[in-house]
Structures are given as C-alpha cells and as structure tokens.
Chain A
C-alpha cells in the first residue's frame, strides 16, 4: 500500500461532496443533544461504533473483492432511513466521480455503469481504495474516520465551536478508531468466507430518527 495515496483519499478536502453533509450533527444540535465539545465527543463515539463500524466493514469487504452489488444491498438493509439511503448514494456517486478522475480504473467504470445514480458511499470507497492500490485496513480507516470527522467539522460551523476543541475530540477518539478499523477488517474477512450476513449491523436509533426529521426541514445548513 501507499501511505501517500491513503492521505490523499482520507483528506477532508478530497472533492467528493462530504463538506455539505453533517453526519447527523445538524439534527443533534437542533434537538439540543450536541451543545459543545463533550457532547460532540459522545456523539462521535456513538456514531463510530454504529454507522462508522458498518461503513468501515462494507468498505473493507469491497476491497477484499466481495461483490459490490451484494454489499450495496446489505448497506440498504442496514440503513432503514430513506433520507440516509439517498444521502449515502448521492455521496457514493460524488466519490465515484472524483475517484474516476483521480485513479482511473475499469472496476470503477463498471460500478458507475451498474449504479448510474450512485452506490452506497462505503462500497464505492472500498473500490476506490482498491483502485488507489490500498488495502482493506486502509479503506476501513478512511470510512471510520469519515464517520466522525464530518460531524466534527460540521459542528464547528453549527455551534461556532472552537476548531481546536473539535479536532481534539477526534484525536482522543484515535484509539477507538483503531479498534473499529480492526473489527471491520475481521468482519470483512468473515464476509469473504461466509457472505454478507457477517457484516456488522450496529444501529443508532437517534441517527435514523434524526435523519428523517432533518430531511423534512425547510431551512438547514447541511444536506444530511
């Protein structure tokens, strides 16, 4: 693997649309559940072990060559909120566009043809990692990190939170990111052997409910 390629892909400035999404932080802020650095930390931790673990496992399994169509269906089954399914596919399509320009690959072209309106973002992420010469662990780290970095930077904008505090929240989560990435790769290896039912399906009721509430607002800063 190339550590350089990993940095390019994991960079928050990679132009794949993430900046317009808050990962549920906007709904949690509006509901008064996230009010500062401490509650942002709790929010991110909950997200990391649920949506983050699921995304990381999907991405790792895609790197290991599991059929992306099956993984995409498994992502649907693990995302009951229609608003989150729409956001996931939108982001998948945007990532696909950025990645096809960055690391051209026949595999990516084929997936784009299979899903013209976008496959779930973590599935695309896994194939992008493959195209960039990265491994399952790298993809798992990218997905897990994205699951918390998005809400952290959104909260800086939403609450005018001190950006140093928000970044410190992410830094303190680093050991748990390691843990989640490890679990995701283990799960992905089981998926190769036993099928997609082995994927973690950890759920976060308030992320699902909050996403539906958010989708109904007339005024909002973020797309999800």
Chain B
C-alpha cells in the first residue's frame, strides 16, 4: 500500500463592501481546512479556521491563502491549536500560508499555536506581501512537543515583504534531525515554546518604536521598514502567549 498525503488549499478574499464593512467574496475551505465566518465587529470581517481533523500528518500538504484588498479589514483566528502528527505517508508534511494585503488594507492573523508532536516532520512557510500602506498584526507560536514529550522535526520560515522589499526573512529549524545546536545556548536552550509577533503600521516610518527587552527572554526590534518584530522563547505555550499579548498591548 502506498500512502499519499492529503492536499488542501483554503482561500479567503476580503473586500471593502462599500457600506463601511468588509465582504468575503471568496471563503473556500478545502477538506480538512474548514473556514467559518463569525460575527463581524465594525468594519472588520472575522474568519475562523476550523480544523476538521488534527493534521497535518506526514505527507500532507496544506495551504491557506488570504488576500486583503484595498481598504478591507480582516481578522483570522483558529478554533484550536494546529497539531503536526506523524503519518503513514513518507516524507515531511507542509503548511504554506500566503498573505497579501493591499494599500489601506488591514489584517490580524492570530491563529492558535502549532504543536510539533514527537515523530512528526513539518515544514511551515509563511509569506507575507504588504503594500506600502497596509497594516498587519501576525502571531506565530510553536510549541515543541506535547507536555513531557520530545518534539517532532519542525522548520518554519517567515518572510515579510513591504512594497516589494524584503524586511524580514527568518527560518527556525528544531527537533530531531535539525542542524546541530538547535536546543543549545545560542538557539533555544531547552525552551519548549518559541514565537514571533509581527506588527506593521505605516506610521512606524515616522516613529519607529525603540528596541526593548520584554522580560528576560523576549525582545522587540524595529525592522528596516515600518515594521517591528517581537521574538520570544518561553518554557511553555501559556507563558509565551502572555509575553506576546503584553508586547502587542505595549504597542498601543
């Protein structure tokens, strides 16, 4: 028997509806990736990613594409953590997120954690393309293993382009088989949760927030563009969330 993974692509398009709100002309779930529109607040449309199953399993290839058009406002969350599991199929699984936000558009991309379970092998890529006056809040959290368990292999790349210029390109590789030293004092040092928060606001061009520490294990850094990055490591997902929430609140 040859097992092949599941391929699924979910798509969201957010568009100004002309009445002060945001319409979702495209809201397409696919197989295990279900999308639900939830109650909007003000001009912002809200979407939940609902995991109809717990994947991705080995060999699966999931993708989510979100397009926020000019002037539209969208908030995307997920109903539960995404759990990377080992599967029958050979090879790594993939999870690719593609985000486009046009001028005057705003996206809050705040999914729950990704949990890398023992024996899993997942490659995540998140590619964000923003127009010059787009706004973004994006959170990524990785939890390495369920409680008391060794993590799986996880590689996660985050690329942010603003007006065609790459202002952030980072890849974290961890778990068994990752390049040496990933759990050592230069990289994670035994921390089991690692996360990033990206905030892009056009007004940061004029007034970039100053670099600062957020406790011992997190730092806020202005990037080369109207963007800041918060990088944090923590003992567990709960503590990580607290640090990232505080960081976002501190930006006002």
Is A in direct contact with B (CB under 8 Å) within the complex? yes
A24 partner residues in chain B, CB cutoff 8 A: 186
For window 22-58 of A, CB contacts with B under 8 Å fall at 24, 28, 31, 33-34, 39, 42-50, 53
Question: Is B223 among interface residues, defined by CB-CB distance under 8 A?
Answer: yes
B169 partner residues in chain A, CB cutoff 8 A: 74, 77-78, 197, 199, 201
Closest A residue by C-beta to B194: A205
Q: In the bound complex, do residue A208 and residue B189 qualify as a contact, i.e. CB atoms below 8 Å apart?
A: no
0 or 1 for each of B127-167: is its CB under 8 Å from A? (1 = yes) = 00000000000000000000000000000010100000111
Q: In the bound complex, do residue A43 and residue B170 qualify as a contact, i.e. CB atoms below 8 Å apart?
A: no
Query: Smallest Cβ distance from B52 to chain A, in angstroms?
Result: 32
Closest A residue by C-beta to B170: A203
Q: In the bound complex, do residue B166 and residue A46 qualify as a contact, i.e. CB atoms below 8 Å apart?
A: no
Q: Chain B contact residues (Cβ within 8 angstroms of A): what range?
A: 35 or more
| Residue in A39, A48, A203, A216 whose Cβ sees the most chain B Cβ within 10 Å | A203
For window 193-219 of B, CB contacts with A under 8 Å fall at 194, 211-213, 216-219
A82 to B222, CA, bound (A): 7
Closest 4 CB pairs of A and B: A46-B181, A42-B184, A46-B186, A45-B181
A residues contacting B by CB (< 8 A) are 24, 28, 31, 33-34, 39, 42-50, 53, 73-74, 76-78, 80-83, 85, 176, 196-197, 199-209, 212-213, 215-216
7 cross-chain CB contacts under 8 A:
A43-B184, A43-B185, A45-B181, A80-B231, A82-B211, A85-B224, A206-B186
B residues contacting A by CB (< 8 A) are 157, 159, 165-173, 179-182, 184-189, 194, 211-213, 216-219, 221-224, 229, 231-233
